[in-house]
């Protein structure tokens, strides 16, 4: 486990402390879960962006292939 020192805005810290009182959860656990959630969110967002980019790269080729299939189907 790594130790990290960070500065948190006073308003965010205060809100977090209020939530932690109700959750009865250690601050460290809460922050770890928040970072894990945020990492998962951004990992999915990066994958989505990559898939969109790659989809655009192959879309023209896919349309050409579909047109060829239509011609083939119409001939039979």
The reported pLDDT for the residue numbered 21 is 95
Q: Binning pLDDT at 50, 70 and 90, where does residue 62 land? A: confident
Q: Is the pLDDT of residue 55 over 90?
A: no
Task: State the Cα–Cα distance between residues 69 and 39, nearest whole angstrom.
Answer: 42
Task: State the Cα–Cα distance between residues 48 and 53, nearest whole angstrom.
Answer: 9
Q: Smallest Cα–Cα separation from 19: which of 37, 3, 34, 40?
A: 34
Task: State the Cα–Cα distance between residues 46 and 40, nearest whole angstrom.
Answer: 10
The reported pLDDT for the residue numbered 76 is 66
3-class DSSP state of 51: helix
Q: Binning pLDDT at 50, 70 and 90, where does residue 59 land? A: confident
The reported pLDDT for the residue numbered 75 is 78
CA 16 from centroid of its chain's CA atoms: 23
The model carries a pTM of 0.67
């Amino acid at each position: 486990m790594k130790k990290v020192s960070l500065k948190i805005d006073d308003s965010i810290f205060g809100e977090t402390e209020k939530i932690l009182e109700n959750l009865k959860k250690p601050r460290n656990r809460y922050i770890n879960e928040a970072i894990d959630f945020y990492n998962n969110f951004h990992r999915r967002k990066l994958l989505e962006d990559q898939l969109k980019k790659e989809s655009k790269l192959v879309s023209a080729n896919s349309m050409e292939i579909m047109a060829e299939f239509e011609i083939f189907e119409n001939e039979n």
